[in-house]
Each structure stands twice: as structure tokens, then as C-alpha cells.
A and B are shown apart, each in its own frame.
Chain A
Amino acid sequence: MLRYIGSRVAQALVLVACITLAVFVILRLTSGDPAKIANPVFARDDVLESYRRLFGTDRSLPDQLWQFLSGIPHGDLGTSFRYQQPVLELIGERLPATLKLAAVSLALAIAMAVVLGVLSARYPRSPFAWVANVLSMLGQSAPTFWVGLMLITVFSVHLGWFPASGDDGLKALVLPAVTVALATLPTQLRVLRASMREVLAQDHVGAARAFGIGEGRIAFVYALRCAFLPLLTVIGVDMGYTLGGVIVTETVFNYPGIGQLALTAMDSRDYPLIQGITIVTAGIFVFVNLAVDLLYGLVDPRIRLAERAA
């Protein structure tokens, strides 16, 4: 088990390293000069030079790469061009909000997927199945930001139930979380439905019925645990898409997370910041997939106890 985790972690680190490298090189090998952006058009050359020295862009590419890499073990991801603060600090300020939104959205999506997925697998011609289909189609076809805008229009502007922006309290999380959840719901729903259908046809479900266990318990306790693993997998696999949705939603709702930070960084060609955000995002992705792997063992005792049975 430990060796398994170890190899997954190693794979993950390689992935992160590749992404970092790619981003670094792409960002540098261009004509966009941050020094020029930070200064008015008529700035003198020596002023530009001093900025370049400040940013470190006057050095050669391999030099810059080395400088960056050597900083990582110290937790130094570089300094933002625009804010003149350590990148890690900037990200650290905003990351908790993004994580909060991502976690709540995921929880919401999983809850909806479980309820709708179990019910529509068990009762394929019921209203639940119809709702599940409509939400799936919607989540898959409609742009996430538009869904957010519509939610704002109805629930914030016209009904006034929830705020349209900001991060104060639980109410502010509702609309953004629903928006992201709707984006990730279709895939989760499909996987769970297919999985549930398979499990519900298995013998042990019929056996449970023969022992007088009620339908609700059979569906939501016995069958669900057997059907849950593929859902777990797809959550991990889909994490990139989920994070993308979070970033977009943060913009729509003016939510103070790293998504917004990334956009301002783009505007000002703030390479270190963009790099840092990319690395952190890749890190989140890797971490979530690791968590999924570990949760596997929790859900399926066969994986956990493989040694004991041998």
C-alpha cells in the first residue's frame, strides 16, 4: 500500500514539474516584455533596464530557470512583477477562499449526483430521472458563466435572496457553488447512474430484499457503497475541469479567490504570478487525485485488506 502511494506521488510530482517547466518556457519565450508594460510608452531605456534587473528578465533563460527552481525548496515562487510581493504570499491570501468555494461546490454536486443518480437508476421513469436528464443537458451545454449570470439575475437582482458578489458568509457562497456544481454534475450523474444500474442488478441486492430490508436502505446504503467507486474516480479525473469552472465563476461573482488573481496577472503579464498559480493549481489537482486513491481503500475493503486475505 505504501509503495503504491509512493509511486503515485512520484508520478504526480513529475506531472507538476513538467507543467511548471512548460509554463515557464512558454512565458519567457515571447515578445511581451513586462518591463515595457509596467512603464509608460515613452520610458527611457535605462529605466526599462532597471526594471528588467528588478524583474530578473535581463538574465538569460537558463539563468532565470535556475533562479526559479532553486527558490522552490525554500518556498519561494518568485516575486510578482505587479504587486512586488512574494508570489506565495499573494496566492496564500486568496487560496482559502477558492478552496472553500471548490469544496462546497463539490459537496453540493456530489450530494445532487447521489440523490438524483440513485433515484433515477432505481426508478428510471420517474420525475427524478427527468430532472436528472434536464440538469445534465443544461450543465453540459450551457456556459458556466452564463448559468452564473442567470442565477444572479433571478435570485439576486430580482428576488434578492442572495448577494451577487463578495465573500461574506454562507449566503455569498450559495450562488457560486450552485453554478460550479451544475457544471460538474452531468459527468458525475452519468457515471453514478450507470454504476448504480449495474449494482442494482446484482444478486446481493435481491438477497437483501429477501431479508426484508427496505428499499430506501437497499438503494442508499447497500447499493450505493458498491456503486460509489467510479464516481470517486471521475471526481479526481475531472478536477481540472472543476477548477476551471471555479476560476470562471469567481470572475462572474467577483469572488476574491485565485481565479481573479490569475486574470489580473494575465493583464499585466505578471509571469511569476501566473506561474505560481499554475503550479498551485496543478498541486491541487494532484492532491485531490491522491485523496481519491486513499479513499478507495476506505470504501472498498478488498483493496485495504488485500494483505490480510492473502
Chain B
Amino acid sequence: MSRLIPVPEGGPLTAVKAGRWLPARGARDGARRRPLPPGLVVGAAIFALMVLVALLGPLLLDDPKQPDIANLLADPGSAGHLLGTDTLGRDLLSRIVTGMRVSLLVAGLGMLGALLVGVSAGLLAAFGGRWAETVVMRLVDVQLAFPYVLLAIALTSVLTPSIPVLILLMVLAGWAAFARVVRSSAMQEREKDYVKAATLAGASKPRIARKYVLPSLLPPILVLGAMQMAMMIVFEATLSYLGMGIQPPTPSWGGIMLEGQRYLKDAWWVSTLPGVGILLTTVSLNLVADGLQKRFGARLGEA
């Protein structure tokens, strides 16, 4: 099988839907001696590079909001504009980089929020008794079943689109996956001897959850985190494209692609390049997730 684009065995998405986690034998022992998977290194490197560009870029590049009427829809490579300009003559490269900044911010914070909410919910479902478990898992089912776009439409018709609202949407869209994985892993951990020993020694449930179970859940949470962040970058771009996300004139990847749609014939790069940027970011994040899975020897799989 070509190593160009490795795809995890059984697939992370399938595994997320199943929501279960299996630590492999000897995972911890071998971890130190085994070399890092190449996919992980490459993915992490690309992603780090993009974060760097997002942070430093705006300092080095032209003002993304500055129109240049003389140079509307310039080709990439033309005078002073590495990637050309958009419909108002604004430098495309700086717009894309600024858009990336916003995307990474929203997706990053969204992922962290979803992580916090989801992990808490998952632990609650695992340790909080039957009633808590039922309620949480039903909510998880509903969220995972519902088309994310409709959720966004419903919410943005009510609240004015802004960055905090977007982040809220991300959290709403992403928490359930974390909850599901955490719950099933926590339930498996709960059956292990060291947890039973702690219970016998008198440790309370919250303490067990926090001190014993949580650390061993770190690998699947990290893997899922990378994947969810990739998903949220795509989600944010989609929302911006549909007009529900970042509002103009702040550049956003989706927004740029929307503007460029009318000029697909003559200036197709306006709509293409931000997409390439998204692709680079999400592929690198998925490589990281894939590599993390391999590294920790664990699989998000069917039991």
C-alpha cells in the first residue's frame, strides 16, 4: 500500500462512531524504544509550520483589508502579490493567512471547549449513576444524529454571528464524540483492578475519576482532539461560506471562497487556494491523529 497518504486501519471516523477505545498490549513498554511514526512527524511539522505562519504572517504581510483598485483580480505572482488579489484588489496571500489565523483560533478554542464539555459529560456518564448515564448518552445520540448545518442555521438565526457564537457552535458540534469515547474508555478502566483497589481503600468516585482514570484516557483524547480540530476547521469554513460564520470584511477562508465563486472562470485561484490551505491543515492534523494512534499502540476500534 502506498505510504503517500496512510489511512488508519479500520479508520478513526468509524471508531469514533463506535466510541470505543482499546489499549494494545505492551503499549507503554514499547513506547520508549519505538521510533516515531513518520506520518506523525510530517503531520506535526506541517501543522506547526502553519501555526507559525498564522502567528507571524500578519506582521510581515500587507494589510488584508487594504484595497488596491489598480490591481483587481491580479494573477498570482504579479507585482507584489504572491497569490494575486481578490475582487477588491486586496492581497490574497495576506487575506488567506489572516483567515487561517481566525480559523485556527476558532477551531482551537472550539476543540478545547468541546473537549472540556465532552470529557466531563463522559466521566459523568461513566461514574454518575444510571440516570446521568441515560441522559448524557441520549443527548450524545441526538447530537451525533443531527445535521450540523441545521444546528448552525437554527442557532445563527437567533444569535448574531460572531466569534464567540462560532466557538459555541463548535463546542456543540464536537462535544458528543469526546463524551462517547471517554465514557466507554472510563467504563473499561473502571473494571480494572487498580480502580477497584482504590474504591476499596475508600476513594470517592470523583477522586477515582480524576486521579486514576483520567490520565489513562489521555491518548484517545489527544487523538480525537486532533481529528475534531480538523473537523472544526472545515466546519468553520463551511459556515463562513454560507454566511453564518465570520462576517466580512474580516477575512475568512470560507468567505474568500464565497467571493471567488463568481469568478471561477477568470480568477479560479481565489476560490481554490484557501481550500488548499484547509486541505494542508486538515491532512496534517489527520496525520498527527493517525500517528498518535500508532504511537500509543491503541486503537479507536470495535471491542
Contacts and interface: CB of A to CB of B under 8 A. Distances in A.
Direct contact of A and B (CB under 8 A): yes
B75 to A, nearest CB: 16
Contact of B10 (A140, A145, A190, A282): A190
The range of chain B's interface size is: 35 or more
Interface string B236-259: 011001111000000000100100
Interface in A218-239: 234, 237-239
B238 A142 contact: no
Given A234-B14, A262-B150, A133 B7 contact: yes
A267 B279 CA distance: 29
A15 interface: yes
Contact of B150 (A134, A152, A238, A281): A281
A44 interface: no
Contacts of B182: none
B156 A266 contact: yes
B145 A265 contact: no
Contact of A274 (B7, B17, B154): B154
A255 interface: no
A202 to B, nearest CB: 17
B153 A262 contact: yes
A263 interface: yes
Secondary structure type dominating chain A contacts: helix
Interface in B154-182: 154-159
A80 interface: no
B214 interface: no
A244 B148 contact: yes
A157 B283 contact: no
B242 A251 contact: yes
B238 A145 contact: yes
A23 B154 contact: yes
A157 B264 contact: yes
The range of chain A's interface size is: 35 or more
A26 interface: yes
Secondary structure type dominating chain B contacts: helix
A80 B66 CA distance: 41
Interface stretch (B53-61, B84-92, B117-125, B268-276): B268-276
Contacts of A251: 241-242
Interface string B14-33: 10010000000000000000
B147 interface: yes
Contacts of B237: 143, 145-146
Contacts of B149: 244, 247-248, 259, 262
B264 A133 contact: no
A176 interface: no
A3 interface: no
A136 B286 CA distance: 12
19 contacts: A15-B141, A19-B142, A26-B154, A129-B1, A133-B7, A137-B5, A137-B7, A141-B279, A142-B282, A143-B234, A143-B237, A143-B238, A143-B254, A152-B264, A187-B17, A241-B147, A251-B241, A281-B147, A281-B150
Interface of A: 15, 18-19, 23, 26-27, 30, 32, 124-125, 129-130, 133-134, 136-138, 140-146, 149-150, 152-153, 157-158, 186-187, 190-191, 194, 234, 237-241, 243-244, 247-248, 251-252, 259, 262-263, 265-267, 269-271, 274, 277-278, 281-282, 285
